Amino acid sequence: MEEQVELVGRAFVDHYYLLFDTNRLSLASLYQPTSLLTFEGQKIQGGDDIALKFNQLPFDHCKHFITTIDCQPSSFTGGILVFVSGNLQLAGEEHQLKFSQMFHLIPTLEGSFFVQNDIFRLNYG
């Protein structure tokens, strides 16, 4: 059970940031209309608006480098909490930005998962 949580969480993280770094609009498929994003304090609901937000970020290309991934089962049946820290490299920028992000993954009827909660923060310092 605990191993499964780790496997799903880590596979999600790989998939999520690959999509983010190569095709941000496709991230809409990972969310549902109930999904909540808080991005640097800004609250957005629903997969379409969330993907739109990502697509409107003021940089064309980026690459996420993951430092840590922590996973726990949530109280919601089959739910998984994923906590990520890492660095974000923006095209044309010399220095990477540190970030932390958490996800709450909820199982779908089809046997997959969607992101119900997503909170992202840059770690300035």
Cβ closer to its own copies: 74 or 89? 74
CA–chain centroid gap for 23, Å, is 14
By CB under 8 A, residue 49 contacts its own copies: no
Cβ closer to its own copies: 26 or 108? 108
By CB under 8 A, residue 81 contacts its own copies: yes
> Checking phi first, is residue 26 left (phi over 0); if not, alpha (psi -120 to 50) or beta?
alpha
By CB under 8 A, residue 36 contacts its own copies: yes
Stretch of 7-15, 16-24, 54-62, 81-89 lying at the interface with its own copies (CB under 8 A): 81-89
By CB under 8 A, residue 76 contacts its own copies: yes
Nearest alpha-carbon partner for 53 in 34, 71, 36: 36
The three-class DSSP label of residue 4 is helix
